[in-house]
C-alpha cells in the first residue's frame, strides 16, 4: 500500500469516527439530565411503586427511614410532587469525614491519655462487644482481623455503595485509621504490654460507604445504617462509629441522615459521631453531630506532651455549638491531635501526605474523626463490663466522668459549647454509677413519629452572646468568654430538651435571627450537592 492510499484510508476512518462522535454528542446532549434524590413516604414499597411508575430508577432501598434513593429527570420529579405515597423529596446531599493529616511520632499515646490502659491491665479489652464502623473501608491486617489472643474477630463487611457483602478494601485510608484506633490489637510486647487500640479485643463490622476518594452520598450512608439496623441482632452490634459530617441545613429532625441515626439509637445502639472540623466558631457542628440524642465528640490535643496534661489544648479545628435548636454540642472531647494508627502506605491519604506515614504500617492524622473513634472504643469497654447499659446510660456515664478543662483560677478554660462536659476518661466511665443525666425530656420515638420535636437550653441574648438558660453567669461572647464556674449540676441540664413548637424560641424572650430559623422547604432544594465525603482537612497544629 502506497503512503497516499494509506493516508486516504486513515482520513476516511477519521471522518467516520468524527461523524460517530458527533452523533453520540448530539444524542447525549438531547438526553434529559437526571439527578439523585431521596424520596420518603409512610411506606417504602409504596414510594418505590410511585417512583417506578414515574419512570425513575431506584438506586437505594432505605427502609430505615421509609425511603428510596433514586435518579430522576425533571419531568419524573414533577410527576412525583404531590403524589399520595410521597411525603418528602430531597436531593441526595453531601457528607465528609472529619480528619486531616498531621505530623507526629509512631508512639500511640491516646489509650493512656484516656486511661484505657488501666482497664486493659484489669482484663477489660472490649471482649464480646461488636462495634460497627461506617467509613471508607477496612484494613485487612492481623492487628485488625484478630483479637488479643489471635482469634478471628471481624464478623462482616458490607459495601453500601454497591449493596454487596464482602471485601471492602480501604483505598482512601480514613476508615482504616478510625477502625485501628478502636480495635488495634498491636502492642509493645513484653510482660507490661501496651495495646495500641482502645478496645483491642472487640468484635468489628465494617461498612464501606465512601469510595477511594473519600466521597459518598447520603443514600449510600443511609443504606449502610439501614444494613446495621437490619443486622444488629445477627452480629450483636452495640456501638456505631460515624466519623463524618455534613453541613446542617435543616432542623435536626428533618435531616434524613439524622433520622437514620435516631432509628439506630432507638433500637438500642450507641451512636457516636464527630463534631466536625469547622471550628472554632460557634454553630459549626455538622450532621449528624447536631442530633441531640447521640454522643458528639470534639477534639483536644496533648500538645505533643502526652505525659503532661497541663498544656493540653482544645484543637483549633474542633467544631463548636450550640445547634440551631439550642442544644450544647459537642458532648465531650477526646484526643484528636496527631493520632497515630494503622493505615495502608499506598492509600490515597498516605500518598498525598507521605511524610506522616512510617512507610510500614502506621499513619498520623488529626481530626474529630479520630476523637470519635476513641469514644467508640470507650463505649465498647463500658458494654463489656455492663452489657445492660442503654445508649442513654452510656452517654450519661461518659459525660459524668469527663473532666472539664479549667484555668489556673479554676474557671472553665473553654466554653461549654466547645468542650461540652470535658475530656473523656475511660476508667471512670466504665465504673461510673451515674444514671439519668442524659437526654432527659427527649423521646426519640415521638420525635421520629413527628409528634414532638425538641429544643435545648442554649440561647443568645440581644448582644449576640451565647449562654445556657439556668446556668447563672455563663456567657460566650465573641467566641472566647467563659463562665465563672464548672460545677455540673442538675444532671447535665444542658442535655435536657424542651418541647419544640412553631415559633417557640426558648423562654427568655430573645428570638433567633439572621437566618437561624428554617422554614418549611428551606432545606433539600434542587441546588444541593449530590456528593458526600469524609471530614475536611485542617491546618497542622
Catalytic residues: 135, 174, 369
Task: Assess contact for 273 and 261: CB atoms under 8 A.
Answer: yes
Look up residue 83 and give its three cell numbers: 403524589
In this structure, what C-alpha cell is assigned to residue 456?
A: 435545648
Give the number of other CB atoms < 10 A from CB of residue 205. Answer: 24
* Residue 123: cis peptide before it, omega within 30 degrees of 0: no
Interatomic CA distance for residues 346 and 122, integer angstroms? 37
Beta bridge partners of 156: 205
Whether 208 and 170 have beta carbons less than 8 Å apart is answered as yes
**For residues 306 and 296, what is the distance between their CA atoms, to the nearest angstrom?**
23
Residue 79 class from Cβ within 10 Å (0-12 exposed, 13-18 middle, 19+ buried)?
middle
Q: What is the DSSP letter of 390?
A: -
Give the distance, in angstroms, between the CA of residue 93 and the centroid of all CA atoms in the same chain. 15
Residue entry with cell 487500640: 197
Taking alpha carbons only, the member of 483, 167, 449, 221 closest to residue 328 is: 483
Beta bridge partner(s), residue 295? 272
Give the angle 246-154-398 at the CA atoms, nearest 5°.
55
Letter string b/e over residues 463-477, b meaning 16 or more CB atoms within 10 A of that residue's CB: eeebbbbebeebbbe
In sequence order, what are the beta bridge partners of 159?
164, 208
Amino acid at each position: 500500500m502506497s503512503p497516499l492510499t494509506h493516508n486516504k484510508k486513515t482520513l476516511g476512518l477519521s471522518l467516520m469516527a468524527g461523524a460517530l462522535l458527533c452523533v453520540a454528542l448530539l444524542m447525549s446532549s438531547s438526553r434529559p439530565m437526571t439527578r439523585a434524590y431521596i424520596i420518603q413516604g409512610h411506606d417504602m414499597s409504596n414510594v418505590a411503586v410511585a417512583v417506578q411508575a414515574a419512570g425513575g430508577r431506584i438506586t437505594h432501598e432505605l427502609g430505615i427511614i421509609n425511603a428510596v434513593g433514586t435518579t430522576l429527570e425533571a419531568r419524573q420529579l414533577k410527576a412525583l410532587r404531590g403524589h399520595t405515597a410521597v411525603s418528602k423529596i430531597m436531593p441526595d446531599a453531601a457528607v465528609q469525614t472529619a480528619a486531616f493529616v498531621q505530623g507526629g511520632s509512631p508512639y500511640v499515646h491516646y489509650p493512656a491519655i484516656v486511661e484505657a490502659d488501666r482497664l486493659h491491665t484489669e482484663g477489660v479489652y472490649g471482649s464480646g462487644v461488636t462495634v460497627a464502623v461506617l467509613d471508607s473501608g477496612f484494613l485487612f491486617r492481623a492487628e485488625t482481623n484478630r483479637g488479643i489472643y489471635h482469634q478471628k474477630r471481624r464478623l462482616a463487611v458490607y459495601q453500601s455503595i454497591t449493596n454487596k457483602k464482602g471485601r471492602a478494601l480501604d483505598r482512601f485510608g480514613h476508615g482504616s485509621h478510625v477502625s485501628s484506633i478502636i480495635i488495634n490489637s498491636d502492642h509493645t510486647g513484653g510482660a507490661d504490654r501496651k495495646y495500641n487500640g482502645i478496645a483491642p479485643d472487640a468484635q468489628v463490622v465494617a461498612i464501606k460507604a465512601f469510595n477511594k476518594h473519600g466521597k459518598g452520598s447520603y443514600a449510600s450512608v443511609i443504606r449502610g445504617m439501614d444494613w446495621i439496623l437490619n443486622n444488629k441482632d445477627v452480629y450483636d452490634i452495640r456501638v456505631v462509629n460515624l466519623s463524618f459530617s455534613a453541613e446542617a441545613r435543616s432542623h435536626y429532625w428533618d435531616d434524613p441522615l439524622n433520622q437514620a441515626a435516631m432509628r439506630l439509637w432507638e433500637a438500642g445502639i450507641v451512636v457516636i459521631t464527630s463534631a466536625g472540623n469547622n471550628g472554632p466558631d460557634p454553630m459549626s457542628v455538622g450532621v449528624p453531630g447536631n442530633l441531640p440524642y447521640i454522643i458528639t465528640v470534639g477534639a483536644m490535643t496533648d500538645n505533643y506532651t502526652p505525659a503532661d496534661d497541663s498544656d493540653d489544648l482544645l484543637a483549633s479545628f474542633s467544631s463548636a455549638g450550640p445547634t440551631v435548636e439550642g442544644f450544647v454540642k459537642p458532648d465531650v472531647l477526646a484526643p484528636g491531635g496527631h493520632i497515630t494508627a494503622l493505615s495502608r502506605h499506598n492509600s490515597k491519604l498516605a500518598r498525598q501526605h507521605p511524610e506522616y506515614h512510617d512507610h510500614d504500617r502506621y499513619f498520623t492524622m488529626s481530626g474529630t474523626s479520630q476523637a470519635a473513634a476513641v469514644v467508640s472504643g470507650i463505649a465498647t469497654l463500658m458494654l463489656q463490663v455492663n452489657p445492660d447499659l442503654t445508649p442513654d446510660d452510656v452517654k450519661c456515664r461518659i459525660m459524668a466522668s469527663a473532666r472539664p478543662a479549667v484555668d489556673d483560677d479554676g474557671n472553665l478554660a473553654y466554653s461549654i459549647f466547645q468542650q461540652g462536659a470535658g475530656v473523656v476518661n475511660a476508667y471512670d466511665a466504665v465504673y461510673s454509677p451515674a444514671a439519668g443525666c442524659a437526654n432527659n425530656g427527649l423521646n426519640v420515638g415521638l420525635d421520629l413519629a413527628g409528634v414532638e420535636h425538641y429544643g435545648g437550653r442554649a440561647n443568645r441574648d440581644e448582644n449576640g452572646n451565647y449562654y445556657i438558660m439556668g446556668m447563672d453567669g455563663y456567657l460566650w461572647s465573641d467566641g472566647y468568654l467563659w463562665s465563672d464556674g464548672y460545677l455540673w449540676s442538675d444532671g447535665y441540664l444542658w442535655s435536657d430538651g424542651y418541647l419544640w413548637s412553631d415559633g417557640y424560641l426558648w423562654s427568655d424572650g430573645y428570638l433567633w435571627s439572621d437566618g437561624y430559623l428554617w422554614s418549611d422547604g428551606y432545606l433539600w432544594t434542587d441546588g444541593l450537592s449530590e456528593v458526600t465525603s469524609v471530614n475536611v482537612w485542617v491546618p497542622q497544629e
